[in-house]
Amino acid sequence: MKIAFTKYQGLGNDFILIDNRHGDEPLVTPEVAARMCDRHFGIGADGVIFALPGKGDTDYTMRIFNSDGSEPEMCGNGIRCLARFIAELEDTREIGKTYQIHTLAGIMSPRLDKDEQVTVDMGVPRLLASEIPTTLANADEKAIDLPLDVSGKTWYSTCVSMGNPHCITFVEDVAAIPLESIGPEFENHPVFPARTNTEFIEVVRPDYIKMRVWERGAGITLACGTGACASVVAGVLTGRCDRSCTVELPGGPLQIHWSPDDGHVYMTGPAKEVFFGSYQF
């Protein structure tokens, strides 16, 4: 069988986009998606994203499989890519065009900006331990700057859900973090029953932070949109960051704003088409 795809990237976080507008289930299985993501034997990507028909009042539904085949609730860089992909499918170049997208984390709203930028209303962060989910704090409490033992060291970590789970640790020097070895230990730590994405943050200024990420189901990536949002929320909660903050990632910068008015987090960054083709499976 052959399937048509378009490859997109948002700050080097790369995705295979599939036009799935004529069916309510993803056109490929998680196993096939993982093979498509393989950088040697497949197309190569951090995940596969499906543009499905909307549910309720929404325009479209986004489903995504990580490169290991697991299904996350949300993807920040991915939804910017999805918005550009949909605009191509609809053949619209309308700056300011906004979509309502159904995701497993609720309804998200991306807006097409100029210069290939997309701003997404990422909704309200969830902070209770039961919502992350984590057992680092009691179910009805927040997990803010709490000690977590990983790899023989105590890390003071804050947990935030942007629909998907994030564990954020502020460090002096983000470049010195041995991400490859400790990332999997955070991801699979018993206090995270649904595993977790893990961000290490160096605060350069309250309005400018550097971030490196180990993603659940994908490992080290060049950027993570939900992770950048969660990190600014964690920075505000711990008195380290302003509500408007630039997050410098290995793949480039994201602008994050946690609105004091509606409590929503807004993310602005690029999304670009790279190439298209067909995959045989």
Residues at the interface with ligand LBFN2T5F (CB under 6 A): 13, 66, 72, 75-78, 164, 197, 215-218, 221, 224-227
Rounded least distance, CB 22 to ligand LBFN2T5F, Å: 25
d(CA 128, CA 134): 9
What the block records as the tokens of 14 is 């790369």
Select from 208, 215, 222 the least CA-distant residue to 186: 215
Active-site choice (81, 159, 167, 224): 224
Q: Which residues are annotated as a binding site for substrate?
A: 13, 66, 76-77, 164, 197, 215-216, 225-226
Least Å from the CB of residue 216 to ligand LBFN2T5F: 4
Binding-site members are: 13, 66, 76-77, 164, 197, 215-216, 225-226
Nearer to ligand LBFN2T5F, 133 or 217 (CB): 217
Q: Which two tokens stand for residue 12?
A: 């080097």
Clarify whether 229 is annotated catalytic: no
Q: How far is the CB of 217 from ligand LBFN2T5F (least distance, A)?
A: 4
Q: Which of 180, 169, 229, 164 has the alpha carbon at shortest distance from 203? A: 169
Q: Which is nearer to ligand LBFN2T5F, 42 or 72 (CB)?
A: 72
Least Å distance between CB 192 and ligand LBFN2T5F? 11
Residues 6+ apart with CB under 8 A from 148: 136, 154, 155, 156, 157, 167, 169, 186, 189, 191
For this structure, is 37 an active site residue? no
By beta-carbon proximity to ligand LBFN2T5F, the closer residue of 128 and 278 is 128
For residue 152, give every residue at least 6 positions away whose Cβ sits within 8 Å of its Cβ, in sequence order, or none.
Answer: none
Residue number with CB closer to ligand LBFN2T5F (83 or 224): 224
Q: Which of 37, 75, 159, 245 is catalytic?
A: 75
Residues facing 244 on adjacent strands: 257
Single-letter amino acid code for the residue at 170: F
Distance CA 133, CA 4 (A): 36
Please give the positions annotated as active site. Answer: 75, 224
